[in-house]
Amino acid sequence: MSDRMHRPSAGQPDGLVDSVLDAARERLAMDPPPLDRARSPRDLAEAAGPAITADGIGADRALALFTDVLAPACLSMDHPRYLAFVPNAATEASTAFDLLVSASNIYGGSWLEGAGAVHAENEALRWLADVAGMPEGSGGTFVSGGSIANLSALAVARHTWRSRRPAGVPVLGADTAGRPVVVVSSGAHSSIGSALELLDLEPFVVPGDALGRFRPSELPDAVLDDLDAIADQVVAVVATGGMTNTGGVDDLAGAADLAARLGAWYHVDAAYGGGALCSTLRRHLFDGIERVDSMTVDPHKWLFAPYDCAAIVYREPELARHTFTQQAAYLDAVNAEGEWNPSDYAPHLSRRARGLPFWFSLATYGTDAYRDAVDRTIEVTVAAADVAREAEHLDLVMEPELSVLLVRRRGWSSQEHWDFCHRLAESEIGFIVPTTWLGETVLRYCLVNPATTPEDVTALFPPA
C-alpha cells in the first residue's frame, strides 16, 4: 500500500495525476464558473457518504465525490456576480502556478531549504513595499490571512514597546487597568480586536467621522489630552487603508502624526484596500502609508492571488526577528547563517511558499496590468454607484471611496433586504449579503474582480 501511495503515476493510462490535473484544467477553463451554493450539513453528509475508509475508495471515486458533490457546495469566489464579503479573482497565471508550487513541495520557512522561493517571495514583498513607499530594507513574509498579519504586527509592536521601556517604570492609568494600550478607530477590522484580545492589549477606541473614517485631526482636545497622559502606555496606533464594510480610507498621514506624537508603533491594515496602492485613481487616499512601521496587504483580496496569501511588511524587519525567531537545537543550522528566513517574521515555522503564485502572476503580466485591473474595478464601482444614485427606488448610502458600494432599497425593512439576498443566492443569480450601517440594514457590494461589469452589479440591485 505505501508503495502504491508514493509511486508516481503520471503518464500512465488512468493515472491519478492526470485525473486530478484534468479536473483542475476543466475548472480553470470555466468562464464563468458556476456560482454554486452551500447545502445543509445533513444534506451534504447524505449526498457525500463516508469517504474515509480502511481500504480507501480510490482516486476516481474520491475525485468524483469532489467534483460532483463537494465542489458544487462551495461558492465560486471568482464568479463575476459574487460580490459578498471580499471576493477573490485569482489570475490564470497565479492559479495555474499554484499547482506547480504544490508539486514542487517547497519548504518556505527558511533560506537554507527554500532559497529560490524566498528570493521570489521577497521580490513580490518588495513591490508591495515600493507601491506603499516604504524604504529600502523593509520586508516581511506571507501568512495565511490579514488576521494573522495584523496579529504579527501587533505582537512585534508590543515586543518592541516592552524592550524599549526603561526598566522599573510603573504603568499608570486607571481607565486601562495599567495595561498597554493600542489606539484603534471604531472602523478597524474585527481581527484587530481579536489580536488585542490574544495579546492582552487594551483598545483605546476613537470615533470615526461621518463615514466611519479615523480622522485624528478631528479628535477632540480632551481625547488627545487623555492620550498624551498615557503616551508611555501606548504600544501602537492602528489605521485602516480601506475599511472592509464601507471601503472608507482613514487619514493615514494624520494617524502617522498621532503615532509619532505618542512615540508609538504605526500599523496600517490595508488587507482589503492595499490593492489600490497600485491604482492611479485612488492612490492619493493612501498618502502617509509610507510612514508605517508595519503594513498588512492581502493579495488574495484585491491583488488577484489565490487563497491564502497575505503580506505583512515591516519597516525594520529585525524587530520582527527579535519577536519571533524560534530557538531550538535542531534549528541551529537554519539560524546560524543569518540569511532571510520567512519563519522569523510571524508566529509560524513550517510554511507553504504561498507568495509564489502572486510573484509568478506579477512577473507574467507586469505591474501595469495590475494597475489597470484595479482601476477597472474602481471604474465599475463608480458606474454602478451612478445607477444607484439615479434610481428612484434606491439610496446610495455613501459615495464609494474604493470598491465597496452600500445601497438601500427605499421602503424595505431589514428582513426584506435579507430575503432579497437569499433569493439571489437560491437562484444562483449572484451572491451578496446585507450589512449594517448606522444601525440600518443595507446591501453591500464589494468589487475586486475585473471580470465584473456594471451590469453584473446592477443585476443584483433590488427591483423598482
Ligand X SMILES: *Cc1c(COP(=O)(O)O)cnc(C)c1O
**Range in contact with ligand X (rule: CB under 6 A) among 50-58, 162-170, 269-277, 314-322:** 269-277
Residue 310 or 320 having the CB closest to ligand X = 310
Site for ligand X contains 271 (CB under 6 A): yes
Site for ligand X contains 246 (CB under 6 A): no
Residue 35 or 271 having the CB closest to ligand X = 271
Using CB under 6 A, pick the residue from 158, 189, 291, 371 that binds ligand X.
Answer: 189
Give the cell for residue 184.
Answer: 484603534
CA torsion through residues 150, 269, 99, 27, sign: positive
Distance CA 345, CA 327 (A): 14
Counting beta carbons within 10 angstroms of the beta carbon of residue 456, is it exposed (0 to 12), middle (13 to 18) or buried (19 or more)?
buried
**Range in contact with ligand X (rule: CB under 6 A) among 87-95, 143-151, 253-261, 335-343:** 143-151
Site for ligand X contains 269 (CB under 6 A): yes
H or E segment to which residue 322 belongs: helix 317-324
| Interhelix angle 367-390/356-365, nearest 10 degrees | 90
CA 14 to chain centre: 39
Distance CA 391, CA 229 (A): 50
Site for ligand X contains 298 (CB under 6 A): yes
Site for ligand X contains 89 (CB under 6 A): no
Give the cell for residue 221.
Answer: 482636545
Residue 145 or 173 having the CB closest to ligand X = 145
Site for ligand X contains 145 (CB under 6 A): yes
Distance CA 464, CA 456 (A): 17
In the bound complex, what is the minimum distance in angstroms from residue 249's beta carbon to ligand X? 11
Using CB under 6 A, pick the residue from 240, 246, 403, 441 that binds ligand X.
Answer: 240
Site for ligand X contains 341 (CB under 6 A): no
**Range in contact with ligand X (rule: CB under 6 A) among 114-122, 144-152, 392-400, 439-447:** 144-152
Give the cell for residue 211.
Answer: 463615514
Q: What are phi and psi of 20, to 5 degrees?
A: -70, -45
# residues near ligand X by CB under 6 A: 14
Using CB under 6 A, pick the residue from 310, 356, 407, 421 that binds ligand X.
Answer: 310
Site for ligand X contains 403 (CB under 6 A): no
Calculated CA dihedral for residues 21, 298, 402, 267, nearest 10 degrees: 180
Contact positions vs ligand X (CB under 6 A) = 86, 145-147, 150, 189, 191, 240, 244, 269, 271-272, 298, 310
